[in-house]
């Protein structure tokens, strides 16, 4: 009788070991796929952590100090040809993107790595700041902050608020391009806002294209 019990225990060990190995491998697969990123981003969106009202630039200003001395301000502006005294650090909150058509206000974070895109709309660090002459590029995930961006098109208004002012853009063009299309970030002869997200919006898995809004600056204050 005792011999039979020992044999049963030994027969259960390989089964338990195999089950443990399957659970460990499944956990590793989940953490390294876009599924984990999607769920994390979706939960951030649903809990309000990507809502601009949670990141009010007045309540939590980025780590940038504007000189109080008017002469020093003018000197900096003449050197940089902009109203921004310095570039924010990667990960800094730098303002908010308001999309009136969607009744949406979204935080803009400097940088477009996954860490920044999980918090809101990312500002491509190699592009100019909003309101400046040239091309300012913003990007966001289609499954979190930009889930409804496909409803925004030609003639619609985009508003960017930063500590340096409020800049209103009007969408001039809608483009759908390949993910490797570098024309999205090329320089522009005037103040332009380019907003990008993955496309198609309902695509399952990694989307191959990009939905692009090209907007011209029409007002600033």
Q: Beta 93-99 vs 104-110: how paired, if at all?
A: antiparallel
Separation of alpha carbons 46 and 144, rounded Å: 9
Q: What pairing do the DSSP bridges indicate for beta strands 104-110 and 121-123?
A: parallel
Task: Say which of 198, 212, 215, 217 is annotated catalytic.
Answer: 198
In three-state secondary structure terms, 103 is: coil
110, 119, 123, 141: the active-site residue: 141
Alpha-carbon gap, residue 51 to 49, rounded angstroms: 6
Residue 141 appears among annotated catalytic residues: yes
Angle formed by the axes of helices 34-46 and 2-31, nearest 10°: 70
Q: How many Å apart are CA 165 and CA 194, to the nearest integer?
A: 18
Whether 140 is catalytic is: no
Burial of 12 per CB tally in 10 Å (0-12, 13-18, 19+): exposed
State the catalytic residues: 141, 198
């Amino acid at each position: 009788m005792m011999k039979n019990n020992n044999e049963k225990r030994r027969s259960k060990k390989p089964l338990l070991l195999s089950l443990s190995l399957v659970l460990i491998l499944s956990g590793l697969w989940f953490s390294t796929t876009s599924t984990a990123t999607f769920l994390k981003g979706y939960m951030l969106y649903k809990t309000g952590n990507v809502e601009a009202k949670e990141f009010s630039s007045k309540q939590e200003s980025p780590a940038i100090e504007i000189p109080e001395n008017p002469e020093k301000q003018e000197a900096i502006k003449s050197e940089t040809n902009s109203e921004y005294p310095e570039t924010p650090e990667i990960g800094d909150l730098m303002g908010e993107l308001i999309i009136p058509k969607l009744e949406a206000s979204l935080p803009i974070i400097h940088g477009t790595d996954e860490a920044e895109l999980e918090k809101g709309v990312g500002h491509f660090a190699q592009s100019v700041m909003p309101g400046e002459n040239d091309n300012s590029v913003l990007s966001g995930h289609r499954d979190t902050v930009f889930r409804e961006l496909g409803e925004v098109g030609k003639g619609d208004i985009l508003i960017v608020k930063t500590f340096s002012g409020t800049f209103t853009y009007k969408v001039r063009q809608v483009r759908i391009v390949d993910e490797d299309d570098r024309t999205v970030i090329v320089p522009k002869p005037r103040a332009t806002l380019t907003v990008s997200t993955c496309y198609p919006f309902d695509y399952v898995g990694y989307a191959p294209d990009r939905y692009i809004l090209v907007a011209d600056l029409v007002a600033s204050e």
